Amino acid sequence: MIQENLARIRGALPEGVKLVAVSKFHPVETMMEAYEAGQRCFAENRPQEFCEKVPRMPSDVEWHFTGHIQTNKLKLVLPYAQLVQSVDSLRLLQAIDRWGTANDKTINALLQFHLGAEETKGGFDEVGIFSVLREYADGAYGHVRFRGLMGMATFTDDESVIRSDFARIRDLKQRMNAAFPQLSDFTELSIGMSGDWHIALEYGATIIRIGTAIFGHRQY
């Protein structure tokens, strides 16, 4: 099943769009089925689960992190994550930069934009994203490399709401690229999950994050 799911999704992806398998709550055995079907990029949402799984999977896995991180849990995530997609506050950003400085490591990161209607979804607003990139362009956050934006659309069946969310983050990214042309690494747009990735592709997604449509439903 996992193999078929992956093949179906991959078959629909344009060149250059990265499929991230979101494996939270699924055991390593299940993840290995995806690995054996050729999947190499996985993402987790919880620091403890993440750092327990990393050593149990093959070493050529590319790991992303997509969940909220309390600053005291950074050490469980930053040594292993090739991309932290969920930088959702200034406090976290500053802590990541300090960790990078102390550990002589540059952390690849996406700024999480508060896109969906839900208050529970974290992230920066537009002004916050602009001001972080302004500071970054002026030399701040020297141990972070901002690669783009991540967002989660409103959880709804109303496709027009999802489309307007995706249009907003796409437009924000375009405005940031226009405002900071010197940030030539700021290229990624991580939008699209199991229910809406087809739509996300129309809005310029470069990364889609898929859990359920690969692995089936999670046990909470």
Ligand X SMILES: *Cc1c(COP(=O)(O)O)cnc(C)c1O
Q: State the residues that interact with ligand X by CB under 6 A.
A: 22, 24, 45, 66, 152, 193-195, 209-213
Question: Residue 214 CB, nearest distance to ligand X (Å)?
Answer: 8
d(CA 98, CA 144): 10
Question: Residue 217 CB, nearest distance to ligand X (Å)?
Answer: 8
Structure tokens, 72: 């005291």
- Structural contact between residues 176 and 133, judged by C-beta atoms closer than 8 angstroms: yes
Which of 115, 133 has the CB closer to ligand X?
115
Structure tokens, 79: 């040594």
Tell me the HSE value of 109 on the side-chain side, using a 13 A CA sphere: 32
d(CA 82, CA 142): 17
Q: Which residue has the tokens 């701040």?
A: 140
Q: Which residue has the tokens 């537009």?
A: 126
Which of 83, 152 has the CB closer to ligand X?
152
Which of 9, 176 has the CB closer to ligand X?
9
Beta strand 188-190 with 144-150 is parallel
Question: Residue 4 CB, nearest distance to ligand X (Å)?
Answer: 16
d(CA 99, CA 104): 8
Question: Residue 189 CB, nearest distance to ligand X (Å)?
Answer: 14
Which of 66, 206 has the CB closer to ligand X?
66
Strands, DSSP E only, in the chain?
A: 18-22, 41-44, 62-65, 83-87, 107-112, 144-150, 188-190, 207-210
Which residue has its beta carbon closest to ligand X? 211
Which of 80, 180 has the CB closer to ligand X?
80
Question: Residue 209 CB, nearest distance to ligand X (Å)?
Answer: 4
Q: Is 123 left (phi over 0), alpha (psi -120 to 50) or beta?
A: left
Which of 100, 192 has the CB closer to ligand X?
192
Question: Residue 146 CB, nearest distance to ligand X (Å)?
Answer: 18
